[in-house]
């Protein structure tokens, strides 16, 4: 009878020792994954109907189904009127956008709410949230440069890079200029933005964020922004977007 008792206690203490080591090694990871974490952050890449962008988002829970968030986002914007052409008069010419005055992007900073419509089960699935954001928007313009052909003596010519103007005869445009040209000539247009959409979060781990977000963004600039030479300046900019977000939930 003594041998079974001794074996039982040896197994018990061995199991106790292993459990203690496991808890020490896991540390904070010992928190069950299905608890309600207080805070979260995420990073994402965005594809727009007229450009692309990057964003960062961080916030905390107001209730079990509502989150307060703030975000910082940058995205490009191109006019629906943009058309790339190639001047066939010159060999090895570069494509350029006819009539483009400025490259435009938006830097947005704002706050918003995420409301969970359907929480995903503990074993995984898809969680659906509705979101609404708003805040400050800064339109950033950089002038478009092109290479222009200037005849010299005989049949020779030289290329000069200069800011695009509708006064330039398109027959003499060789192609687009360097992207860095005009980088010291940025203009800024303060305004506002609003955003709404839906977030579809997938994955089995509640602490890790993997989601697909889709929605629309409206930017407004009180001072109209010039994009194309032969079109009116714009004050309203509507964008439809899809973004992929990755991040983490945590407690203090």
pLDDT above 70 for 235: yes
The pTM for the full model equals 0.82
Question: Mind spelling out the 3-state secondary structure of the chain?
Answer: CHHHHHHHHHHHHHHHHHHHHHHHHHHHHHCCCCCCCCEEEEEEEEEECCEEEEEEEEEEEEECCEEEEEEEEEEEECCCCCCEECCCCCCCCCCEECCECEEEEEEEEEEEEEEEEECCCCCCCEEEEEEEEEEEEEEEEEECEEEEEEECCCCCEEEEEEECCCCCCHHHEEEECCCCCCCCCCEEEEEEEEEEEEEEEECCCCCEEEEEEEEEEEEEEEEEECCECCCCCEEEEEEEEEEEEEEEEECC
pLDDT at 98 exceeding the cut of 60: yes
Give me the mean pLDDT over the 189-212 stretch.
Answer: 92
Look over the chain and give the mean of its residue pLDDT values, rounded to a whole number: 86
Q: Which of 2-16, 157-171, 181-195 has the largest mean confidence?
A: 181-195
Tell me which of 241 and 18 has the higher pLDDT.
241
Q: pLDDT tens, 16-71?
A: 344 444 434 444 444 445 556 889 999 999 999 999 999 999 999 999 899 999 99
Q: Which of the four pLDDT bands, split at 50, 70 and 90, describes residue 220?
A: very high
In this prediction, residue 105 has a pLDDT band, given cuts at 50, 70 and 90, of very high
What is the pLDDT, as a whole number, of residue 122?
A: 65
Q: What is the mean pLDDT of residues 85-109?
A: 93
Q: Does position 247 have pLDDT exceeding 70, yes or no?
A: yes
Lowest mean pLDDT among 48-52, 68-72, 94-98, 154-158: 154-158
Q: Among 77-86, 118-127, 178-187, 226-235, where is mean pLDDT lowest? A: 118-127
| The pLDDT of residue 152 | 85
């Amino acid at each position: 009878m003594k041998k079974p008792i001794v074996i039982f206690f040896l197994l018990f203490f061995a199991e106790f020792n292993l459990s203690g080591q496991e808890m020490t090694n896991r540390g904070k990871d010992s928190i069950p994954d299905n608890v309600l974490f207080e805070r979260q952050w995420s990073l994402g890449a965005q594809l727009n109907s007229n450009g692309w962008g990057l964003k960062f988002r961080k916030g905390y829970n107001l209730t079990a189904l509502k989150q307060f968030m703030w975000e910082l986002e940058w995205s490009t914007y191109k006019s629906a009127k943009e058309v790339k052409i190639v001047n066939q008069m010159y060999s090895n010419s570069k494509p350029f956008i006819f009539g483009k005055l400025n490259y435009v992007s938006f830097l947005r900073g704002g706050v918003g709410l995420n409301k969970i419509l359907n929480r995903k089960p503990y074993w995984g699935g898809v969680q659906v949230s509705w979101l609404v954001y708003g805040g400050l928007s800064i339109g950033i313009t950089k002038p478009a440069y092109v290479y222009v052909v200037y005849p010299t003596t005989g049949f020779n010519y030289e290329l000069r890079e200069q800011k695009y103007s509708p006064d330039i005869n398109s027959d003499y445009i060789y192609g687009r200029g360097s992207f860095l040209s005009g980088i010291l000539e940025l203009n800024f247009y303060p305004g506002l933005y609003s955003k709404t959409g839906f977030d579809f979060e997938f994955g089995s781990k509640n602490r890790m964020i993997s989601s697909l977000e889709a929605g629309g963004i409206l930017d407004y600039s009180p001072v109209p922004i010039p994009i194309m030479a032969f079109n009116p300046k714009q004050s309203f900019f509507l964008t439809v977007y899809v973004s992929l977000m990755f991040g983490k939930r945590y407690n203090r």
